[in-house]
């Protein structure tokens, strides 16, 4: 894939992540904030994968996978906290 296309895609992902950051800040409910933070986490994961392709560094793929797992666990923890008032 062309590096120009991947660079434009990375810029677009960054802009969308910033839009979601606004939603996380101004969301009317806690659920809106959790969803927007989850979307930001997903976009950052994809952005790391795009950077891995651009730089041809396989280590970034491992970082993206770990970041995705941490984002998933954090979303589950925050959702349980909202639902029950405690994480465990």
Domain coverage including residue 35:
3-84
Closest alpha carbon to 30 in 65, 79, 84:
79
- Predicted confidence band of residue 87 (pLDDT cuts 50, 70, 90): low
pLDDT digits (tens, 9 = 90+) for 38-59: 999 999 999 999 999 999 999 9
DSSP annotation of 56: T
What is the pTM (predicted TM-score) of this model? 0.83
pLDDT digits (tens, 9 = 90+) for 9-21: 989 999 999 999 9
d(CA 40, CA 49): 14
Residues 57-66 as b/e (b if ≥16 CB within 10 A, e otherwise) read: eeebeeebee
Q: How many domains does the chain have?
A: 1
d(CA 43, CA 65): 13
Residues 4-14 as b/e (b if ≥16 CB within 10 A, e otherwise) read: eeeeebbeebe
Mean per-residue pLDDT of the chain:
89
pLDDT digits (tens, 9 = 90+) for 71-84: 999 988 888 888 88
């Amino acid at each position: 894939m062309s590096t120009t296309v991947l660079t434009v895609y990375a810029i677009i992902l960054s802009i969308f992540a910033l839009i979601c950051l606004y939603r996380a800040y101004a969301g009317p409910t806690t659920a809106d904030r959790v969803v927007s933070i989850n979307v930001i986490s997903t976009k950052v994961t994809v952005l790391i994968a795009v950077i891995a392709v651009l730089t041809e560094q396989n280590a970034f793929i491992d970082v993206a996978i770990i970041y995705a797992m941490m984002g998933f666990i954090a979303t589950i923890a925050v959702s349980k906290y909202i639902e029950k008032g405690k994480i465990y």
